[in-house]
Every structure is written in structure tokens, then in C-alpha cells.
């Protein structure tokens, strides 16, 4: 895995070879990464991938089995949670039920011996738009309000790093979108490093400057949201972040600037700078919205690559229509066609040609024996898996 390679100023958060084992289970496996000061960093992954454990090790709530947690040049891995300049917004908020909102927000200041807290608390409540709620108990607030109290309670301490553990998970969709924008606004305003753990890829992409996709205790890929989406590094990322059509194929070295790939008896070509490997078993990947459908093979633009098939399903979802196209070898490709008013809708049973610009395709390593992957990964994992 690559870490973000640049100098480390005083405030960068660095994890170095961080490992956490629970008995025989390795939750976090030799993880190294750098979070630049002031950035909004998202750890994205399914439940049980180790992202929450990583967060808890940064907070000091879990002791690493080995490795370092560095803040600037200082290793804080051995410090108790209350000695770290790090605060957490907990999943389900963990507001103290017996204290009112004012005292909840003032809690950290008081523990550090600060007497005059009222002004600061008022200002912080204003920042999260909860003026006048100070005397209420947490149970009297709605989910969204509780979430903002949890945020205020952490931010008031001006931590060097703010950790957010699925902070929006308990909110309904509309409120979640609103809070995403809110969180991003506050982060820009206060300029604190945010490390945000989530399983919601849309949430991660909307808010974070840098996203790290975690799987089985390791980082699969790390980068800017657009880079991850447009050019994923692994099949896991390609399917976890959005949806992909991955065709199982073989590559046998590049030809000039292109990499020829043989898949299901057809030859395709991908620009060499869009290939993660150029030998052996590979996946040829195309995002569903990069695929276009032509009823007549003659409509395929020059330079586009294509496969033939039959429409087996068409779901109208408003902004787009989502088609399933069964290929000659039996895989069903996903195709998203924007309902832009250009071109008619295709009925089920229509023979079509799916085509794409080779510059939108990518080539990923594939385990020998793995077949096509065209169905999306579930981003909501089964209930009961520990996160």
C-alpha cells in the first residue's frame, strides 16, 4: 500500500505499521497511512473491516498490538485517552443522559480545569445551530440535534484531530445529506483534521478530501474520491465504491501504449496507463454509466469497443434508466442511461450493442478462477457482524 508521500509537518496524523489482534482475529493488519493536518479524511469500508478499531486506537480506547500512532513526531499510542489531543464523535453519540446539553458540551473544558465555560459553550452551540437548547436533557432532543450536540461537545476542546465514528448512521436520509454539508462547512470553518469512519461510500465521497477504502484490516486504496472512482486499484474498490462491470480476461503484455485483453473470446484494448497489471489474469472494468447502448451496431462511434447482448431488464429510476444486458456468454452487464431526452428507451428483449470509450475502461488484477463481477457489492452488510 502506498502512503501519502510528503513531509510531515507538526500536526500530521501518522499511523505506522499499526496492528490490532483480538485473539486469533486480526482486526487491523499492519496499517500505515498519513492524514495531513487540516484535511478531511474518510475511512470507508464494510462492517468488520477494521475501520472502527483503527479509529479507537487513534482515540486511545483500544491499545494497538503493535505499531505507532504519531501526531507530528510524537507517538501517542501509549497515552490514555484523556491525555490525547484527540476527540471523538461517537456512533449513537454517547451523550451523558444525566447531564443537560450545556453540561454535556462543557464536560471536556471542566475536566481540564477551565472554570468560565459559559461563553465558549454558547458560541459552540451557536456554531451547531442549537442556541437556547442548553438546559434540555439529551433525551428531549431529536436524533439530528443530538448528533450536533455530540459534535459541539468534541469540537469545543479544539482537538488536533476529530474522530467521527459513523456520525450520521442513525439519521434518516434527508437529514443525513443535510448534515453532510453541515459537517463539511464546520470542518472548513474550524480547520481541524477530521477522520471520518463510514460504510456509506456516498457520504465518504461527498465530504472527504481523501478516502481510504479498507477491507479485512488493510487499506485497499487511498486517494481523492474522483481518482478512486475513475481508476480503482482493486476489484473490491471497483465494486465497493459505486458499481462496476468487471469482465474476466487475460493480458499478455502491452502493445505500444495499449494493453490488449482477451475476454470471452473477444479482444479488447485499454490504454496502458489505465492498467494496474499487464500480464496474466485480469479484470476489464467499465462503470455502468460509461457504457452506452446502441440498437444498431452501426451506431457505435469509431474507436469505441463493444459487446453484443439482449436487454433483460429495464428499471426506470427517474434521472436514469438502469438496464441489464445479457451477453452471449451469460453475464448480465449493468448499464445506466441518463434520461436526458436524447434517444428512446429500449424494451426488454431488444438486441443491443453495449459500447464504451477505451479511455473509460480500466484493468485490474484478478485471482485465477474468478469470473465476471457485474452485480454490485452490498454496502449494507448482514446484521450482526461486528464493526
Partner 1 sequence: MRRWIADRWVMGVALLVLGYLSLPIVVVAGLSFNRPSSRLSYDFNEFTLDNWTQPCATSDMCDAVVRSMEIGLIATVVSTLLGTLMAFALVRHGFRGRAGINGLIFLPMATPELVMGTSLLALFVAAGVPQGFWTIVIAHVMFCVSFVVVTVKARLSGMDRRLEEAAMDLYASEWQTFRRITLPLVLPGIMAAALLAFSLSFDDFIITNFNAGTTVTFPMYVWGAAQRGIPPQVNVIGTAMFAIALLLVGASTLRGRRARRAALVAPVAAVGTPKSAS
Partner 2 sequence: MTALAHVPTSAGEPAAAPRRSRSRLLPYLLLLPGAAWLLIFFALPLLQLAAASLYDPGGSLSTGYAMTWAFDNYPAALQAYWPHFVRSFAYSAIALVLALLMGYPLAYAIAQKAGRWKNLLLVAVVAPQFTSFLVRTLAWKTILSDNGALVGLLRDVHLLGPDGRLLATPFAVVLGLTYNFLPFLVLPLYASLERLDSRLLEAASDLYASPLRAFQKVTLPLSMPGLIAGTLLFFIPATGDYINAELLGTPNEYMIGNVIDSAFLVRLDYPQGAALSFLLMAAILAIVFGYLRKAGTEEVL
Interface with partner 1 by CB under 8 A: which residues? Answer: 59-61, 80-82, 86-88, 90-92, 94-98, 107-108, 111-112, 153-154, 157
CA-to-CA distance for 200 and 379, rounded, in angstroms? 7
Binding status of residue 9 toward partner 2 by CB under 8 A: no
Which single residue is written with the C-alpha cell 457482524? 385
CA-to-CA distance for 266 and 244, rounded, in angstroms? 19
Q: Count the Cβ atoms, other than its own, within 10 Å of residue 262.
A: 14
Q: Which stretch binds partner 2 (CB under 8 A): 12-20, 132-140, 152-160, 271-279?
A: 152-160
Min CB(150)–partner 1 separation in Å: 8
Q: Which helix (H) or strand (E) holds 222?
A: strand 218-223
> With respect to partner 1, which residue has the nearer C-beta, 161 or 270?
161
> With respect to partner 1, which residue has the nearer C-beta, 110 or 267?
110
CA-to-CA distance for 353 and 310, rounded, in angstroms? 8
| DSSP secondary structure letter of residue 265 | T
Min CB(25)–partner 1 separation in Å: 17
Which single residue is written with the C-alpha cell 457489492? 377
Q: List the one residue from 57, 77, 248, 286 that touches partner 2 (CB under 8 A).
A: 77
Which single residue is written with the C-alpha cell 501517542? 76
Binding status of residue 258 toward partner 2 by CB under 8 A: no
Binding at 75: pick from partner 2, partner 1, none (beta carbon under 5-8 Å per type) = partner 2
Min CB(50)–partner 1 separation in Å: 18
DSSP 348-363: TT-EEEEEE-GGG-EE
Q: Find the angle CA(291)-CA(296)-CA(302) to the nearest 5 degrees.
A: 60
Bridge-partner residues for 165, per DSSP?
Answer: 197
Binding status of residue 115 toward partner 2 by CB under 8 A: no
Binding status of residue 132 toward partner 2 by CB under 8 A: no
> With respect to partner 2, which residue has the nearer C-beta, 87 or 215?
87
Binding at 97: pick from partner 1, partner 2, none (beta carbon under 5-8 Å per type) = partner 1
Q: Which stretch binds partner 2 (CB under 8 A): 74-82, 145-153, 219-227, 262-270?
A: 74-82
Binding status of residue 111 toward partner 2 by CB under 8 A: no
CB 117 within 8 A of CB 125: no
Phi, then psi, of 85 in degrees rounded to 5 = -80, 50
> With respect to partner 2, which residue has the nearer C-beta, 115 or 174?
115
Q: Which stretch binds partner 2 (CB under 8 A): 31-39, 69-77, 117-125, 216-224?
A: 69-77
Q: List the one residue from 30, 75, 100, 122 that touches partner 2 (CB under 8 A).
A: 75
Min CB(99)–partner 1 separation in Å: 8
Min CB(314)–partner 1 separation in Å: 46
Binding status of residue 104 toward partner 2 by CB under 8 A: no
Q: Which helix (H) or strand (E) holds 55?
A: helix 51-59
CB-based contacts of 53: which residues, under 8 Å, 6+ apart? 20, 27, 28, 62
Distance of CA 209 to the CA centre of its chain: 11
CA-to-CA distance for 33 and 18, rounded, in angstroms? 9
Report the interface residues with partner 2, using CB under 8 A.
63, 74-75, 77-80, 83-85, 112, 114, 157-160
Amino acid at each position: 500500500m502506498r502512503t501519502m508521500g510528503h513531509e510531515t509537518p507538526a500536526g500530521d496524523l501518522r499511523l505506522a505499521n499499526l496492528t490490532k489482534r483480538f485473539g486469533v482475529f486480526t482486526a487491523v493488519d499492519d496499517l500505515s497511512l498519513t492524514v495531513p493536518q487540516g484535511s478531511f479524511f474518510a475511512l470507508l469500508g464494510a462492517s468488520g473491516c477494521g475501520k472502527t478499531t483503527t479509529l479507537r486506537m487513534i482515540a486511545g480506547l483500544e491499545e494497538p498490538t503493535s505499531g505507532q500512532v504519531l501526531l507530528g513526531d510524537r507517538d501517542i499510542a501509549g497515552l490514555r485517552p484523556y491525555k490525547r489531543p484527540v476527540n471523538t464523535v461517537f456512533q449513537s453519540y454517547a451523550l451523558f443522559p444525566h447531564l443537560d446539553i450545556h453540561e454535556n458540551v462543557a464536560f471536556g473544558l471542566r475536566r481540564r480545569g477551565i472554570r468560565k465555560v459559559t461563553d465558549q459553550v454558547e458560541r459552540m452551540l451557536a456554531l451547531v445551530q442549537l442556541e437556547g437548547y442548553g438546559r434540555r436533557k439529551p433525551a428531549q432532543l431529536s436524533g439530528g440535534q443530538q448528533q450536533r450536540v455530540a459534535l459541539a461537545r468534541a469540537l469545543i476542546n479544539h482537538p488536533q484531530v476529530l474522530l467521527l465514528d459513523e456520525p450520521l448512521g442513525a439519521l434518516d436520509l434527508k437529514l443525513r445529506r443535510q448534515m453532510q454539508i453541515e459537517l463539511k462547512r464546520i470542518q472548513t470553518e474550524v480547520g481541524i483534521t477530521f477522520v471520518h469512519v463510514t460504510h456509506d461510500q456516498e457520504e465518504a465521497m461527498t465530504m472527504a478530501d481523501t478516502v481510504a477504502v479498507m477491507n479485512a484490516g488493510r487499506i485497499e486504496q487511498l486517494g481523492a474520491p474522483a481518482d478512486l472512482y475513475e481508476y480503482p486499484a482493486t476489484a473490491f474498490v471497483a465494486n465497493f465504491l459505486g458499481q462496476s462491470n468487471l469482465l474476466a480476461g487475460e493480458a499478455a503484455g502491452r502493445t505500444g501504449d495499449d494493453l490488449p485483453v482477451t475476454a470471452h473470446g473477444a479482444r479488447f484494448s485499454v490504454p496502458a496507463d489505465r492498467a494496474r497489471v499487464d500480464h496474466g489474469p485480469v479484470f476489464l472494468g467499465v462503470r455502468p454509466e460509461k457504457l452506452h447502448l446502441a440498437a444498431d451496431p452501426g451506431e457505435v462511434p469509431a474507436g469505441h469497443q463493444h459487446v453484443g447482448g439482449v436487454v433483460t431488464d429495464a428499471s426506470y429510476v427517474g434521472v436514469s434508466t438502469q438496464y441489464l444486458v445479457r451477453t452471449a456468454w451469460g453475464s448480465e452487464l449493468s448499464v445506466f442511461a441518463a434520461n436526458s431526452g436524447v434517444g428512446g428507451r429500449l424494451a426488454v428483449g431488444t438486441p443491443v450493442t453495449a459500447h464504451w470509450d477505451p479511455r473509460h475502461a480500466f484493468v485490474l488484477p484478478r485471482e485465477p478462477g474468478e469470473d465476471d463481477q457485474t452485480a454490485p457489492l452490498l454496502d449494507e452488510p448482514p446484521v450482526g457482524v461486528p464493526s
